[in-house]
Amino acid sequence: MRAAVVTSFDTPPTCQDIPTPTPQAPDEVLVDVIAAGLHPRVRSQADGSHYTSTDALPLIPGIDGVGRAPDGTLRYFVLPDTTMGAMAERTLVDLRRSVVLPEEGDPVLIAAAMNPAMASWVALRRRVTFERGQNVLVLGATGNSGRMAVQVARHLGAGRVIGAGRRPEPLAALTELGTDATVSLDGAPDEVAGRLGQAARDADVVIDYLWGQPAADAMRALITNRADRGRPLTWIEVGSVAGPTAAIPSAALRAARLCLVGSGQGSVPTRDILAELPGLAAEITRGAFRIDAHAVPLADVEAAWRDTGAGRRAVITP
Ligand SMILES: NC(=O)c1ccc[n+]([C@@H]2O[C@H](COP(=O)([O-])OP(=O)(O)OC[C@H]3O[C@@H](n4cnc5c(N)ncnc54)[C@H](OP(=O)(O)O)[C@@H]3O)[C@@H](O)[C@H]2O)c1
């Protein structure tokens, strides 16, 4: 069968022939893959930089997808840490890590949306006690996960939703997705801090896809401008596109009621992530969230990898 194969962490995967794998465990089945999303998480799997990565090569990338199981059901599946990923004509799926989808579901849209939507869905439902009416700042709102976070926060009953991001056009487009205000992160750090501090001074929850210096600057800005420093502020670290480390001022943790948590594999147990799949898949299938996706044939996987523009989510279709 054909698969995307990573043979070196320095080069993109290429489409190659590999032997078809055989199920080994009682709940494992061979699934015909229909669509697998090319998420940042998959890129970091393929370049060996994700915190779950091992040195094992070759590997087939892809952490989730939509496929047809031997019993004929259409399923969304999440794979464990494995070298037999989703970007292949067939892959091994543990049925307990999958959810049956309605036949009318669009596999490409579902494969595109589940990972970026899970980021905020799980963060708000599993890492904080999120209450309707609370105000949410999405830091790094112009990416696929950020755009989803705006919609998920709105869907879960947020009060004000503020989106902060760099590029003007996707930032302006956030209003259609449900933001009450947007903040440009473009410009001198002092100006950005001023804008952010004013717009998000009453935030209750921050969903942070950036980390790095922008997160440290934003934290300082929000705390400095807070009307009531005793009002809880929960900062959920979800992504790190602006840098793997951030210099958090110690005063931030003393001068305000700041709680810093992370959300991802490990900080949320696998059983909790799996428990969220059916509800989120149902919402995505009924069209509750908008996502821009484009299908790329498996044969073109190498070109898809080289296209790193942060726009529509690429979905590999074997
Ligand atoms: N923990 C989880 O459960 C989880 C789940 C999904 C994703 N994530 C993580 O979340 C992050 C974002 O994922 P994604 O799906 O949204 O990726 P994406 O669609 O590729 O978008 C990335 C966005 O990051 C923005 N960006 C990059 N560097 C920036 C900087 N220095 N300042 C401001 N914005 C910057 C880009 O902004 P421009 O528009 O300005 O170019 C782009 O819109 C990744 O780190 C991913 O691994 C975590």
pLDDT digits (tens, 9 = 90+) for 86-109: 999 999 999 999 999 999 889 999
Structural domains in the chain?
2-101+288-317 (3.90.180.10), 115-262 (3.40.50.720)
- pLDDT above 90 for 50: no
What whole-number distance in Å separates Cα of residue 36 and Cα of residue 55?
23
pLDDT value at position 121? Answer: 98
Q: Which atom of ligand 1 is nearest to the CA of 308?
A: 20
pLDDT value at position 54? Answer: 85
Written as six digits, the tokens of 242 are 């602006």
What whole-number distance in Å separates Cα of residue 6 and Cα of residue 14?
7
Written as six digits, the tokens of 184 are 């440009």
The residue written with tokens 């952010």 in the block is 196
Q: Which atom of ligand 1 is nearest to the CA of 39?
A: 15
Written as six digits, the tokens of 144 are 């696929």
Amino acid symbol at 38: L
Q: Is 166 in the pocket of ligand 1 (CB under 6 A)?
A: yes
Average pLDDT of every residue of the chain? 96
Task: Kindly give the distance from the C-alpha atom of residue 40 to the centroid of ligand 1, in angstroms, as a whole number.
Answer: 8
CA distances for 52 relative to 59, 80, 82, 100, angstroms: 14, 11, 10, 27
What tens digit of pLDDT does each residue of 205-259 get?
Answer: 999 999 999 999 999 999 999 999 999 999 999 999 999 999 998 988 999 999 9
- pLDDT above 80 for 309: no
| Confidence grade of residue 310 (pLDDT, cut at 50, 70, 90) | low
Q: Is 240 in the pocket of ligand 1 (CB under 6 A)?
A: yes
Strands (DSSP E) found in 152-284: 161-165, 181-184, 205-208, 233-237, 258-262
Q: Is 1 in the pocket of ligand 1 (CB under 6 A)?
A: no
Mutate-to-test residue for ligand 1 from 184, 209, 276, highest number of ligand atoms within 8 A of CB: 209
Distance of CA 300 to the CA centre of its chain: 23
For residue 143, what are the contacts with CB-CB under 8 A and spacing of at least 6?
Answer: 116, 165, 209, 239, 241, 310
Phi, psi of 21 (to 5 degrees): -75, 160
- pLDDT above 90 for 311: no
Task: Kindly give the distance from the C-alpha atom of residue 230 to the centroid of ligand 1, in angstroms, as a whole number.
Answer: 30
Mean pLDDT, residues 148-169:
97
